[in-house]
Amino acid sequence: MDCGDRARARQHVFLLPEYLKDASKKMKSGLLFVKLVNPCSGEGTIYLFNMCLQQLFEIKVFKEKHHSWFINQSVQSGGLLHFATPMDPLFLLLHYLRKADKEGTFQPLDQVVVDDMFPNCILLLKLPDLEKLLRHVTEEKEIDKKKYYKYSKEKTIKWLEKKVRQTVSALKTNNINVSARVQAATFFFGDPVSSDKEEDYIRYAHGLISDYIPKELSDDLSKYLKLPEPSASLPNPPSKKVKLSDEPVEAKEDYTKFNRKDLKTEKKNSKMTAAQKALAKVDKSGMKSIDSFFGTKNKKVGKI
Amino acid sequence: MDLSELDRDSTGRCRLSSPVPAVCRKEPCVLGVDEAGRGPVLGPMVYAICYCPLSRLADLEALKVADSKTLSESERDRLFVKIEEDGDFVGWALDVLSPNLISTSMLGRVKYNLNSLSHDTATGLVQYALDQGVKVAQVFVDTVGPPETYQERLQERFPGIEVTVKAKADALYPVVSAASICAKVARDQAVKNWHFVETLQDLDADYGSGYPNDPKTKAWLRKHVEPVFGFPQFVRFSWRTAQSILEKEAEGVLWEDSATGHQEGPGRIMSYFSKGPQTHPHLPHRYFQERGLESATTL
Amino acid sequence: MESSDEKTVEKCRVHLRPGTLHDAALATLHLLPCEVLVSGPAPVERFFTPAMRQGPDGLEVSFRGRGLRGEEVVVPPGLVGYVMAMEEKGEMLVGKDFSEDSWNDEREEQELAEPPEALERDFDQFIGATASFSRFTLWGLETIPGPDAKVRGALTWPSLAAAIHAQVPED
């Protein structure tokens, strides 16, 4: 498997922050795409580093069935549109801090941020003001002018709550519709639909933030925010299962890409509608040759 | 015949008409409807009406108009000139439906078949004559489909007019023959002077009769397949001949309403879901799902 | 459960050539409402562009005999559109083995200490912008995509992302 002719001919359509263009004038290099572990799903996900601006970017891709691009005098199948947006590196660092916390000791950051699978995680250590950032989620000690860190769940939850708050206000200024979906509303039979609008915003913001943290932390945050258990208020509608099996057509995604642990532990039945919707959306049947460039140089790893 | 409007834009439809003879606004008239170019896979379809006062029908017959199919091209051209010369009592109007209009109608999400398109066009032309003040008393229509339902519908639409829909009406009624000549002359001229929307290289003008069973036409179609765009808009994409050539010789294109190739979903996912709704993989938040966004895992 | 020798190491870096971001010429882009099952050259200028018409409510064109309706979409302020393509160079190194642990360790230490040039390793890949854009034409099948088009929703992501990822105030 490598990036063969088809892959090379592929054109990627991106939207980048304009300031990257300005910053690039002074750069000869230092803009790099790498694969790092996604702190929510655990799967390899692409991020962009700007080593000159010392900034991390997340890459989201718009992917809807039945699209293609005409780009000048060419056609590009798939119709993908990539977005690079600045990302808080703390979400990625948290993954390693929590992992290291299993040892229960204070450790220097360069011993925490290590990854056999995603060695490029060391680039995170080059980002600026890490000490300041880490204060939000760790206890720290200084010995011989070297800093040692230990994950603090309490601090992390407080930090995440602030994230939720600032997301809530952005949701409001951006006029995002956060109310329970029409489809979902029918399942609130007895319950009055969202008596508290503010709660809808918080739940929505919590959901967004949850896409950047592991499930366990998301559940803890939910409790801290006193969000009602969604599974309690949303009985699982059996009709949906029927609908799903009516539509084998849509089920073409390769689910091996999802973290298998999630398969076993996930239990928020309130999300079934979303699950089915997404199933329909992530069909990649038309995308002929999406072999990752990031897969091309991979090798089987022996013991490291 | 001045088809310059079609030359300017051959992507839609255009209407052409003679001035309305003054007598046709005073006396009850007979009006014929016929079409040309319904069958070909190439070029436009033309619907035409021709009309004259009932009192002058004998004068129209004297022109020796006949079913356009039995006439040579030069005879048709000559007869059309005569019809024009008799513009003091004979009027005509026609609609040129571009192949692009035919393709997009027939291939629409809501299929608009050729019969409906034809009927609506014919109805539109009769209405146009009425709107111009022509005192239409009788209408004769040539048809390829079953005449009964068509006649019923037209009669219902124009209750004050005596409607006759008949197969081979173009051979039976001189006013329909005259309409068929107008239609055929327009179609021939449109095809001969077709203004291709596309910038084509090595365009071969020898496309035969344009009928799908003509080997010359088929060869032309094969020669002009473009792998991504298919054919120039001169071709009716909705014709089976055109589609089967595209299936073999052009790249595949999937639309949200195409009903192809979705049968073989991997059973693995279904079996996973049939385990029950309690388990499912991580899915992005609804904000992302509603916007078709997901984290990029490949470049 | 998963032994490390069954997984692959994601060590590749794809370097985006900074210079290409300000050299990139403007391109014309159309987002079609269909999947063309091929990527490559296509005579858009000869077949598609000349068939576009300004209709009473938006742009009109047809593709493969199907009617399309379109509208201009402007890239949100603060963003620039780029078309990028991989460079072929890195190809030669496929299969080169980097398995010695010592090599890795040494290399990683170097990276920490050195200027950005060391970010490039000989097995890395390069990508460059081949064109830029500030607008594109969004086509819908027979209807104008309109404000409810998913891609329009997607375009609002950067402004929300900025809020989610902004640093939180200190205590």
Shared-domain flag, residues B131 and B57: yes
Q: What is the pLDDT of residues B118-175, one digit of tens each?
A: 999 999 999 999 999 999 999 999 987 889 999 999 999 999 999 999 998 988 899 9
Query: In this structure, what DSSP letter does residue C25 have?
Result: P
Binding-site members of B for a divalent metal cation are 34-35, 142
Shared-domain flag, residues C108 and C55: no
Shared-domain flag, residues C120 and C68: no
What is the rounded distance in angstroms from the CA atom of residue B80 to the CA atom of residue B72?
Answer: 12
Q: A47-50 — which CB contacts under 8 Å span 24+ positions?
A: A47/A87, A47/A92, A48/A84, A48/C16, A49/A123, A49/A126, A50/A20, A50/A23
Q: What is the mean pLDDT of residues A276-304?
A: 41
Instruction: Output the CA–CA distances (angstroms, integers) from residue A129 to A90, A124, A271, C108, C162, in the order listed.
Output: 11, 11, 37, 21, 18
From chain A, the residues in CB contact with C27 under 8 A are: 71-72
Write out the two tokens for B47: 């619907």
Q: Average model confidence (pLDDT) for chain C?
A: 83
What is the rounded distance in angstroms from the CA atom of residue B94 to the CA atom of residue A238?
Answer: 59
What ipTM does the predicted assembly reach? 0.87
Going by pLDDT thresholds of 50, 70 and 90, the confidence category of residue A255 is very low
| Inside any domain, residue B140 | yes
| Inside any domain, residue C13 | no
- Terminal CA-to-CA distance of chain B, rounded, Å? 58
Q: What is the mean pLDDT of residues A198-206?
A: 93
Going by pLDDT thresholds of 50, 70 and 90, the confidence category of residue C117 is very low
Shared-domain flag, residues C109 and C158: no
HSE-CB for A203 with a 13 A CA cutoff: 17
Shared-domain flag, residues C52 and C82: yes
Question: Which among B234, B249, B264 is the end of a domain?
Answer: B249
Shared-domain flag, residues B97 and B230: no
Q: What pLDDT, on the 0 to 100 scale, is given for residue A43?
A: 92
Give the chain A residue nearest B259 (alpha carbons).
A249
Q: What pLDDT, on the 0 to 100 scale, is given for residue A103?
A: 80
Using DSSP, state whether A143 is helix, strand or coil: strand
Shared-domain flag, residues C30 and C105: no
- What distance in Å separates residue B273's CA from the closest CA in chain A? 8
Asked if C53 and A260 touch (Cβ cutoff 8 Å), the reply is no
| Inside any domain, residue B295 | no
C 61-100 residues with CB below 8 A of B? 62-67, 86
Phi/psi of residue C128, nearest 5 degrees: -140, 155
The reply to whether B133 touches chain C by the CB within 8 Å rule is no
Shared-domain flag, residues B226 and B125: no
Q: What is the mean pLDDT of residues A34-49?
A: 95
Task: Quote the number of domains for chain B.
Answer: 2
Residues spanned by the domain of B234:
215-249
What is the rounded distance in angstroms from the CA atom of residue C116 to the CA atom of residue C133?
Answer: 29
Best mutation target, A2, A15, A32, A45, to test chain B (most B CBs within 10 A): A45
The reply to whether C26 touches chain A by the CB within 8 Å rule is no
What is the rounded distance in angstroms from the CA atom of residue B100 to the CA atom of residue B234?
Answer: 7
Say if residue C86 is exposed, middle or buried (CB neighbours under 10 Å; 0-12, 13-18, 19+).
buried
Instruction: Output the CA–CA distances (angstroms, integers) from residue C36 to B25, B235, B256, C50, in the order listed.
Output: 55, 20, 12, 20
The reply to whether A70 touches chain C by the CB within 8 Å rule is yes
Shared-domain flag, residues B186 and B230: no
Helices (H), chain A: 5-9, 18-24, 90-100, 109-112, 130-134, 153-173, 182-185, 197-210, 215-224, 230-233, 239-246, 260-265, 272-281, 293-296
What is the rounded distance in angstroms from the CA atom of residue A229 to the CA atom of residue A222?
Answer: 8
From chain C, the residues in CB contact with A3 under 8 A are: 86, 91, 125
Closest CA to C125 of A87, A291, A17: A291
For the cut 50, the answer to whether the pLDDT of residue C116 exceeds it is no
Going by pLDDT thresholds of 50, 70 and 90, the confidence category of residue A230 is low
Q: What pLDDT, on the 0 to 100 scale, is given for residue A102?
A: 85
Give the chain A residue nearest B229 (alpha carbons).
A75
Shared-domain flag, residues C105 and C30: no
Instruction: Output the CA–CA distances (angstroms, integers) from residue B245 to A189, B233, B238, B277, in the order listed.
Output: 55, 15, 12, 46
Q: What is the pLDDT of residues B99-126, one digit of tens each?
A: 999 999 999 999 999 999 999 999 999 9
Write out the two tokens for B59: 């004068």
Shared-domain flag, residues C99 and C59: no
Going by pLDDT thresholds of 50, 70 and 90, the confidence category of residue C110 is very low
Residues near B281 by Cβ (< 8 Å), separated by ≥ 6?
A255, A258, A259, A262, A263, A266, A275
| Inside any domain, residue C153 | yes
Shared-domain flag, residues B123 and B13: yes
The reply to whether B202 touches chain C by the CB within 8 Å rule is no
A239-246 and A272-281 helices, crossing angle to 10°: 10
Shared-domain flag, residues C55 and C83: yes
Going by pLDDT thresholds of 50, 70 and 90, the confidence category of residue A268 is very low
Q: Which domains does chain A have, with CATH numbers?
A: 5-133 (2.20.25.530), 152-234+272-286 (no CATH)
Give the chain A residue nearest C98 (alpha carbons).
A299
Using DSSP, state whether A280 is helix, strand or coil: helix
Phi/psi of residue B100, nearest 5 degrees: -65, -40
For the cut 60, the answer to whether the pLDDT of residue A108 exceeds it is yes
Shared-domain flag, residues C135 and C83: yes
- What distance in Å separates residue A141's CA from the closest CA in chain C? 19
Shared-domain flag, residues B146 and B8: yes
| Inside any domain, residue B120 | yes
Asked if B15 and B128 touch (Cβ cutoff 8 Å), the reply is yes
Q: Do C5 and A30 touch (CB under 8 A)?
A: no
Shared-domain flag, residues B188 and B77: yes
Q: Do A255 and B261 touch (CB under 8 A)?
A: no
From chain C, the residues in CB contact with B100 under 8 A are: 51, 62, 65
Say if residue A204 is exposed, middle or buried (CB neighbours under 10 Å; 0-12, 13-18, 19+).
buried
A 10 A CB-CB count for A135 gives 16
Closest CA to A41 of B271, B285, C160: B285
| Inside any domain, residue B21 | yes
Instruction: Output the CA–CA distances (angstroms, integers) from residue A271 to A61, A219, A263, A267, B177, in the order listed.
Output: 22, 14, 13, 9, 68
A115-119, A286-290, B158-162: lowest mean pLDDT where? A286-290
| Inside any domain, residue C19 | no
What is the rounded distance in angstroms from the CA atom of residue A303 to the CA atom of residue B4?
Answer: 78
| Inside any domain, residue B298 | no
For the cut 90, the answer to whether the pLDDT of residue A303 exceeds it is no
Q: Do C165 and A171 touch (CB under 8 A)?
A: no
Asked if C163 and A85 touch (Cβ cutoff 8 Å), the reply is no
From chain A, the residues in CB contact with B263 under 8 A are: 249
| Inside any domain, residue C76 | yes
Q: What pLDDT, on the 0 to 100 scale, is given for residue C61?
A: 97
Residues spanned by the domain of C102:
94-125
- What distance in Å separates residue A8's CA from the closest CA in chain B? 11
How many Å separate Cα C145 from the centre of its chain? 22
- What distance in Å separates residue A190's CA from the closest CA in chain C? 31
Shared-domain flag, residues B45 and B120: yes
From chain A, the residues in CB contact with B277 under 8 A are: 236, 240-241, 269, 272, 275
Closest CA to C116 of A119, A50, A294: A50
From chain C, the residues in CB contact with A16 under 8 A are: 21, 79-80, 82
For the cut 80, the answer to whether the pLDDT of residue A296 exceeds it is no
Q: Do A300 and C130 touch (CB under 8 A)?
A: no
Going by pLDDT thresholds of 50, 70 and 90, the confidence category of residue C67 is very high
| Inside any domain, residue C111 | yes
Q: What pLDDT, on the 0 to 100 scale, is given for residue A6?
A: 44
| Inside any domain, residue C81 | yes
Q: Do C33 and B229 touch (CB under 8 A)?
A: no
Amino acid at A245: S
Binding-site members of B are 34-35, 142
Comparing CB atoms, the residue among A176, A245, A267 nearest residue B278 is A267
Q: Which regions of chain B are under pLDDT 70?
A: 260-281
Asked if B170 and B177 touch (Cβ cutoff 8 Å), the reply is yes
What is the rounded distance in angstroms from the CA atom of residue B248 to the CA atom of residue B235?
Answer: 16
A208-212, B143-147, C57-61: lowest mean pLDDT where? B143-147
Best mutation target, B97, B114, B229, to test chain C (most C CBs within 10 A): B229
The reply to whether C142 touches chain B by the CB within 8 Å rule is yes
For the cut 70, the answer to whether the pLDDT of residue A5 exceeds it is no
Question: CATH no. for residue C70?
Answer: 2.40.128.680
Shared-domain flag, residues B90 and B178: yes
| Inside any domain, residue B288 | no
Give the chain C residue nearest B235 (alpha carbons).
C65
What is the rounded distance in angstroms from the CA atom of residue B169 to the CA atom of residue B49?
Answer: 13
Closest CA to B163 of B171, B175, B153: B153
SS3 letters across A58-93: EEEEECCCCCEEEECCEEEECCCEEEEEECCCHHHH
For the cut 60, the answer to whether the pLDDT of residue A135 exceeds it is yes
Shared-domain flag, residues C135 and C51: yes
| Inside any domain, residue B296 | no
The reply to whether B43 touches chain C by the CB within 8 Å rule is no
| Inside any domain, residue C70 | yes
| Inside any domain, residue B271 | no
Q: What pLDDT, on the 0 to 100 scale, is given for residue B204?
A: 83
For the cut 70, the answer to whether the pLDDT of residue A192 exceeds it is no
Q: What is the mean pLDDT of residues A281-296?
A: 40
From chain C, the residues in CB contact with A14 under 8 A are: 81-84
Question: CATH no. for residue B100?
Answer: 3.30.420.10
Shared-domain flag, residues B225 and B181: no
From chain A, the residues in CB contact with C102 under 8 A are: none
Stretch (H or E) spanning B294: strand B293-295
Shared-domain flag, residues B23 and B151: yes
Shared-domain flag, residues C111 and C56: no
Asked if C52 and C60 touch (Cβ cutoff 8 Å), the reply is yes
Using DSSP, state whether A20 is helix, strand or coil: helix
Shared-domain flag, residues C81 and C50: yes
Task: Quote the number of domains for chain C.
Answer: 2
What is the rounded distance in angstroms from the CA atom of residue B204 to the CA atom of residue B216?
Answer: 11
Query: In this structure, what DSSP letter does residue A32 have?
Result: E
